Amino acid sequence: MDMKEKILAIAQRLIQTRGVNGFSYADIAREVGVSKPSLHHHFPTKADLVARLMAHYTEQLETYLASVSEHQNTTIDKLKAYTALYRHTLDSERICLGGMLSAEALTLDAQILPLLRRFFDVQRQWLIKVLTEGTSRGELQLVGAIDQHACTLIAALQGALVVSRSAGSVEFFDHTVDGLLSHWY
Amino acid sequence: MDMKEKILAIAQRLIQTRGVNGFSYADIAREVGVSKPSLHHHFPTKADLVARLMAHYTEQLETYLASVSEHQNTTIDKLKAYTALYRHTLDSERICLGGMLSAEALTLDAQILPLLRRFFDVQRQWLIKVLTEGTSRGELQLVGAIDQHACTLIAALQGALVVSRSAGSVEFFDHTVDGLLSHWY
DNA sequence: GTCTATAACGAGATAGAC
DNA sequence: GTCTATCTCGTTATAGAC
């Protein structure tokens, strides 16, 4: 792993645990073991670094969702693989990068906003596709519009990550997911 | 409204829009029209101010939920009144104070954590009571454990506030709520 | 209770040598 | 590509006069 990737990995962890406004270049420098100016060489401004991270985060998400579509056959397995992604974030004692940046959105560089919009839109469109397929195959019987259920899934998983951090345990997250999926199978 | 309340009101709005790490005493001073040291007279440290706000926020929530229990007769009306509280937060272009502080939790004074825990516990217990009543009255037919649905409701509303800020419109929030309640009536 | 002045520190960022 | 040194600004907080 070269220096650029090392910086990105540590910065991402810091943002997902402390927020953009809760860490500094000095924190990265300490962990990576280089000086602050060296960081500026790789990422001139903090806004550059954050934008780079968010764009990459969405790309990874798209890759993951494409893989799930390919390898999971049933609708329920696809949805479980989707919730597992969030559960993995919880396991690493982080919240979602997109969720954290959304909370801080009004303090961030304007270039971040379209990236966030895209991040959530990718999930929404993927879920609509999965839920539509599941319905037409008879695997699901949904009440109401499919897009509404897509929104509910995204919102509940995002919220569950944040609340679990304060509610004190992963139990809150797991209950949330069980409550979400209990209607469908 | 005396000075202390003025400070609290403006600080609360700043935190709900920008986060604890996204505003400073200078921001409050500018809006209230006093000097920074005057703020420190009323709230010696930023941690004091944040703790005072969070405690008061939870008290207001409890008052509101007690009022809903008293004045709304059907389970569905109670749940609608609960979601309306979050919708009102969205209308004021804020996210939940508890949600914002939870996202930033690892950067905050330790005294905040029990306050956050309590904030979410109040909602969870209230929802469990409402959903249990609704089930025993035959107004709801819930699949799975009641506590799971309480967690799902809290998480989805919290997440919907944050995502709506980035998804670009209140539409995401409304779809989330419709998806949530569509199972139950 | 409010102010001016200032301390003490950390932030993001730059200059320029190696 | 990394460093030391430094700049400039904003932060929380305090001292002490009015």
Predicted confidence (pLDDT) per residue in A61-119, tens digit? 999 999 999 999 999 999 999 999 999 999 999 999 999 999 999 999 999 999 999 99
Q: Which fold has domain A47-181?
A: Tetracycline Repressor; domain 2 (1.10.357)
User: Cβ separation of B182 and A116 shorter than 8 Å?
Assistant: no
User: Cβ separation of B116 and A19 shorter than 8 Å?
Assistant: no
Nucleotide nearest to B3 (CA to C1'): C1
CA triple A170-A171-A177, angle to 5 deg: 95
Domain boundaries, chain A: 47-181
- Give A150's Cβ-side CA count (13 Å radius): 19
Query: How many Å apart are CA A136 and CA B37, to the nearest integer?
Result: 65
pTM of the model: 0.98
A38 CB and strand D closer than 7 A: yes
Query: How many Å apart are CA B110 and CA B155, to the nearest integer?
Result: 23
Question: Residue A29 CB: number of other CB atoms within 10 A?
Answer: 17
| A-chain residues near B116 (CB < 8 A) | 166
Q: Which fold has domain B54-181?
A: Tetracycline Repressor; domain 2 (1.10.357)
pLDDT digit string (tens) for B21-74?
999 999 999 999 999 999 999 999 999 999 999 999 999 999 999 999 999 999
User: Cβ separation of A155 and B160 shorter than 8 Å?
Assistant: yes
Nearest chain A CA: its distance from B181 CA (Å): 10
Q: CA B24 → C1' D10, Å?
A: 9
